[in-house]
Amino acid sequence: MGSSGKSSSKSGGSAALEQIASEYWGETEGVRTEFFSQLESLLTTGGVGARLPIMAAAEERSRTASSEAMGATEKQLASTGLAGTPFGEQIRADQTMAGEQAAASSTTDILTQLLNQVAGVTTGSANTVISGLSVPEAQSGGKNFGLGF
């Protein structure tokens, strides 16, 4: 009984789990680094000063779609003789308002989605890996990862 009671060897299950977690961590490092960088920017600036690439692209796509829709609307108004009439101007104003609202809400929607992920990302990413290990052997292609599951 000259041992301190602790063993330096790991069980087959914990060694396999450590290996899988290490591989997962290495494979996702680039994505995690970029995501956390943008998430930090989002949390510190509210996204206002950050101009995250995904937000800028979404706003640009929304503005492009609004512009194309306005062109189609103006073409229809002209072909029906409604261009320049009060009715036609109301349609144009409504179209413009809808386009501006869509562009403004695109960044807010992205901010909301990212903020909703903060807790899960910071605490749960490893949960996916671990829960995947409990899949019955028959469903995992006959692999039990040496964990005895």
Q: Is the pLDDT of residue 11 over 80?
A: no
Report field, pTM of the whole predicted structure over 0.75: no
Establish if 48 belongs to a structural domain. no
Assigned domain for 57 exists: yes
In a domain, 131, yes or no: no
Q: What is the DSSP-derived secondary structure letter of residue 11?
A: P
Domain that residue 87 falls in:
53-118
Task: Kindly state whether residue 86 falls inside one of the protein's structural domains.
Answer: yes
pLDDT (tens digit per residue) in 19-37: 888 888 888 788 778 777 7
Residue 34 domain-assigned? Answer: no
Residue 80 resides in a domain: yes
Q: Is the pLDDT of residue 85 over 90?
A: yes
Q: How many domains does the structure of the chain reveal?
A: 1
C-alpha angle 48/52/53, rounded to 5°? 145
For residue 87, CA distances in Å to 46, 73, 80 come to: 40, 13, 12
Domain-located, residue 102: yes
